[in-house]
Structure 1
């Protein structure tokens, strides 16, 4: 708490103890370790390098205690509890949220919390999520990252020109209805357009996939959406084209803590997720999926 607040009095108040008691406890720990944990500069304090090590190990211990509690709860209550999922904002959020409807019908006594964040790995490491789902997850010695499938992005429109493929540069020539910059699809579009020396100026920006589909239907413009979203929603009246030169794809991965107990709720949700991925015939990593099934499902 002191390392979080960087203030002894505030930390003591949060802990419900007196400031002298807290200072004494810190001092005793410093004596035991043989090194100071904080640099004291007037009324301000900061962690020393040794303090940073102790802080990380303390968080690991705290995580172990929470893990132990989760295991006991999972073993004793089974279908009662909560499920916490971290997910990148954008396309994957729709997939995760839609599956929650089915999950809640199967397990009504399990509360589901979805954290939309661009720091999926941190949410898992800090035990704010049982697992996370995202694109381009960074390697970490404490995390197990399993590639689920390759997401392809389509150009969609309200009429067909008879071609099933379209070059990336040509999609920038007409009016576009796109997600805002925070969405992964938009980030990929912006990055790719920059690489080919172009700049995207959408006619409409909206976070609502239903609005995008309706605007495309009405002829306001075309859009670029993930295959997952295209398959998930009623799009039979729309036409899609594969994008090439370059193609737009991104790997979708599942991230969990290594050697961490996977509770009942997480196992059941991941099972639903894998089943949905296979049903949509996405470009899955067969070996990774099989390994996931054998290890936790």
Structure 2
């Protein structure tokens, strides 16, 4: 069972369509079908049920997919280790980060990383499914909300960070030393759409205490929210450290939230049993320092 056939199998499993998988792989559909039949013959059982034009993975196919991810990751690890023997400054680092943190806060750190490792290809992804991306080997490192302990992962706590109210300095709210979430039911708010982690953290606290917050506008990026606050459209509720890193918003002030307030707990995660390059280690250390400084 070679990794090429596993790669073919994984593509069919992901697309559940032989023609689309073949196009993705850059091979002909008959060639792909033949390779899957050979793999099935080698294993002695079907990997897919073909019902008319529909393709459905069998139980054996689902099982092979789990091990296939590990096989392909082991191959990538081996190649990465060999490359590092040739040069410690080659390879790729894939990083998954929550959207609000990737939006613009980490760019200076990425610049510093590229300065030290000019040959490293750094790929940073914005996602709310950080842990899932790490567990599926789609990324090497993840920065996300703290989750339950998992023996498959290395989980490094990055501290806790309260949310605060961000308002324009001319707003009547800017005169307050602190506010409660319930007070904000009477004020214009701009927030992430429902379903975003930052929005859900706020909504969960409000619902627990019997009220909801209304919004006048919803956008999907932290920088857009700050621009709306800057323009006086409304206030927003964001992690305290969001404003710490920047001097580009001189007209925005943050106000602590008293009483029940949303708090997020962050962690760095990566797969426990896999090769970790020097570049990975360096980026991990910088990320840990960055977030611990921000949440302290």
Stretches of structure 2 that go unaligned for 5 or more consecutive residues are 1-7
CA contact under 8 A between 1:12 and 1:22: conserved in structure 2?
A: no
The Cα offsets for residues 49-75 of structure 1, whole Å up to 9 and x where unpaired, read as 233222322221111111111222233
Give the Å deviation of 1:202: 2.0
What is the distance in 2 between the residues matched to 1:278 and 1:136?
14
Give, in whole Å, the separation in 1 of the partners of 2:16 and 2:229.
52
Q: Is the Cα contact below 8 Å between 1:81 and 1:111 reproduced in 2?
A: yes
The answer for the alignment partner of 2:115 in structure 1 is: 105
Once residues 272 and 25 of structure 1 are traced to their aligned partners in structure 2, the CA distance between those partners, rounded to angstroms, is 47
CA apart distance, 1:213: 3.9
CA, structure 1 residues 51+206, in 2 after alignment: closer, same or farther (shift >3 Å)? Answer: closer
Deviation of 1:267 (Å):
1.5
Contact 2:99–2:221 (CA under 8 A) maintained in structure 1: no
- Count of aligned positions: 278
Asked if the contact 2:98/2:144 (under 8 Å) is kept, the reply is yes
Residue 142 of structure 1 pairs with residue 152 of structure 2: yes
Contact 2:100/2:221 (<8 A) preserved: no
CA–CA separation in structure 1 for the residues paired with 2:243 and 2:142: 22
**1:117 counterpart = 2:127:** yes
**In the alignment, does 2:48 pair up with 1:48?**
no
SS at match of 1:251: strand
Cα deviation digits, residues 225-259 of structure 1 (max 9, x gap): 21221111225654322213212101111110112
The equivalent of 2:244 in structure 1 is 231
Q: Which residue of 1 aligns with 2:5?
A: none
Deviates more, 1:71-80 or 1:215-224: 215-224
Residue 12 of structure 1 and its aligned partner are, at CA, apart by: 6.6
Deviates more, 1:12-21 or 1:48-57: 12-21
1:192 to 185, 195, 205: 205
Determine the structure 2 residue equivalent to 1:291.
none
Q: Structure 1 stretch 73-82 or stretch 232-241: which is displaced more?
A: 232-241
Where in structure 1 are there 5+ consecutive unaligned residues? 284-297
Correspondence list, 1:275-294, <5 A: 275-280=289-294, 282-283=295-296
Rounded Cα–Cα distance in structure 1 between residues aligned with 2:219 and 2:123: 24
Is 1:91 matched up with 2:104?
Answer: no
**What's the TM-score, normalizing by structure 2?**
0.79
Is the contact made by 2:69 and 2:137 (CA closer than 8 Å) also made in structure 1?
Answer: no
Partners of 2:36 and 2:193 lie apart in 1 by 48
2:260 maps to what in 1? 246
Change beyond 3 A, Cα 1:80–1:167: same
Matched residue SS, 1:95 = coil
TM-score, structure 1 as length reference = 0.79
The answer to which of 127-136 and 105-114 deviates more is 105-114
Partner of 1:72: 82
